[in-house]
Structure 1
Amino acid sequence: MTQVPRIGALAVVLRDGKVLLARRRNNPDAGLWGFPGGHVEWGETVLAAATRELREETGIHAEPIDYLTNLDLLQHGEDGNVELHYLLVGVACRYVGGTLQAADDVSDAQWFDTRTVLAGELAMSARVPDLLGLALRSGFW
């Protein structure tokens, strides 16, 4: 069997100086705050996956603006072998509407002041502040 990386889409939504984060219910990163997102399905673009996952996990509707960056996520077992390999694609998304409600595979979803996230004041997945900083510098908002 050939092993290949999975592709994940991350929805980066900013609104009124706040960023939307979701607390993961399952591994990887169970219990940590991160951008809403998940697997890209066969035949689906990353942009479409980002907004679908955002809606499924948080009830928030958004329009994809553009790609922000790619992030490699590799987790190794005790034997040093790769056990998990994702290519995560950050997608800038423009808020449209919806009622914020944690659903699907997240236990909570909240809007956080961007300064709180950038200062690392939350238990977050790796590189969340870095991706947020990139989003803020992108000029999309």
Structure 2
Amino acid sequence: MTRCRHLSLSTNCIDRLIPLSGMKKLRILSLGRNQIKKIEKLDDVSDSLEELWLSYNTITSLDGLSGLANLTTLYLSNNQIKNWDELDKLSNLPKLRDVLFTGNPIYEGLSKEEARLNVLKRIRNVMKIDGDMVKQTERDAVTGQ
């Protein structure tokens, strides 16, 4: 497993993460459609992980992601994120470009555009939100130009 670059464990009834010791080359970790409640124990792959797919779980908090300095892609659709403050925890991920949050309670009662602007306010460097590229007009709306 030391050479593993892409690990797919989707749809396996996994309810918690375990340390990924020895997987220093892991770039993509796919854990969608499980029963994960908490993002944790990613320290062993913090230098290499670029994509984290966690859609269709029961995650409520984005704690546990701050050390993933090379993360470019984060898919968290259809989880239980209820508080916009959770997205603020992603603002320190300099390479994060592609995020997916659709299907979370934070989007309830918002138009697609309102939801996108709320994401962009919190994660300024993002290029793609919920599958669609960020437009310059959206960036301007967030920066007040």
TM-score normalised by the shorter chain: which range applies?
A: under 0.3
Please, what TM-score do these two structures have when normalized by structure 2? 0.27
Please, what TM-score do these two structures have when normalized by structure 1? 0.27
Higher RCO structure, 1 or 2 (CA under 8 Å, sep 6+): 1
